[in-house]
Amino acid sequence: MSNQIKIPYKFTLAEKKIITSNFSSHLDWEKVIFDALKIKIRDNLRPKQNNKCCYCKRELGYDIKEVDIEHIIPKSEYSDFTFEPKNLALSCPACNTKKGEKKILNRKIVRYPVHSKNCTINHAHYDDYSKNILIHDGCVFEALTTKGSHTITVCELFRLKIVENKAKVKIAKRNKSSRLINLIMNANQLELQNAMTELMKRIK
């Protein structure tokens, strides 16, 4: 299983023309004219990422609201990289939101980097995720490198452990209730009578 995107999205000539004539700032990313292109980028990157978020490696949903085209180097800081294929990767909306506009470069750059040396987090196109982060039980993130550690901080990946714990408590509670209901439903007349007698004794 590949841990990084080997081939980025390749814009066709027609797509390049649409970009050139409709793009002047990173805010243009939201223009409706790019909607069809975004669908193509999503469809192209999904199998290349094994349908996993590039930061938390959780399964991506198929609804439009369950997958984001993430700009690895924030487009608000480097407008020129808004349509840079190597700057695009799919992430879950939660990771995208947590990462936000946080800086992920340790120096100013002019051209899009050709390696991830100056990138402080795991770069979906350049880095092998498994060398930076180890995931236990799908929700505990262990940093293997400084890059891994910074990725966990920037995307707040520790949030998943908290969510997982809450889910476990909920399931445990539900199981306990259903065990009690089952007990009552399956009890015979004598057992019920005994339980009632026991209960009455305790009340007295």
- Window 22-81: residues binding Zn ion (CB under 5 A): 53, 55-56
Q: How far is the CB of 142 from Zn ion (least distance, A)?
A: 16
Q: What is the largest CA-CA distance in the chain?
A: 86
Q: Does 95 contact Zn ion by CB under 5 A?
A: yes
Q: How far is the CB of 158 from Zn ion (least distance, A)?
A: 13
Task: Show the binding pattern over residues 101-140: x = contacts Zn ion (CB under 5 A), - = does not.
Answer: ----------------------------------------
**Count of residues touching Zn ion (by CB under 5 A):** 5
Q: Choose between 23 and 54: whose C-beta lies nearer to Zn ion.
A: 54
CB atoms within 10 A of CB 16: 11
Q: How far is the CB of 94 from Zn ion (least distance, A)?
A: 6
Q: Choose between 26 and 99: whose C-beta lies nearer to Zn ion.
A: 99
Q: Choose between 56 and 121: whose C-beta lies nearer to Zn ion.
A: 56
Q: How far is the CB of 53 from Zn ion (least distance, A)?
A: 3
DSSP string of the chain? --SS-SS-----HHHHHHHHHH-SSGGGGG-GGGHHHHHHHHHHHHHHTTTB-TTT-PBPPSSGGG-EEEESS-TTT-GGGTT-GGGEEEE-HHHHHHHTT---BSS--SSPPSSSTTBSS--TTT--HHHHEEEETTTEEEESSHHHHHHHHHTTTTHHHHHHHHHHHHHHHHHHHHHHHHHHHH--HHHHHHHHHHHHHHH-
Q: Choose between 55 and 141: whose C-beta lies nearer to Zn ion.
A: 55
Q: Choose between 45 and 92: whose C-beta lies nearer to Zn ion.
A: 92
Interaction site with Zn ion (CB under 5 A): 53, 55-56, 92, 95
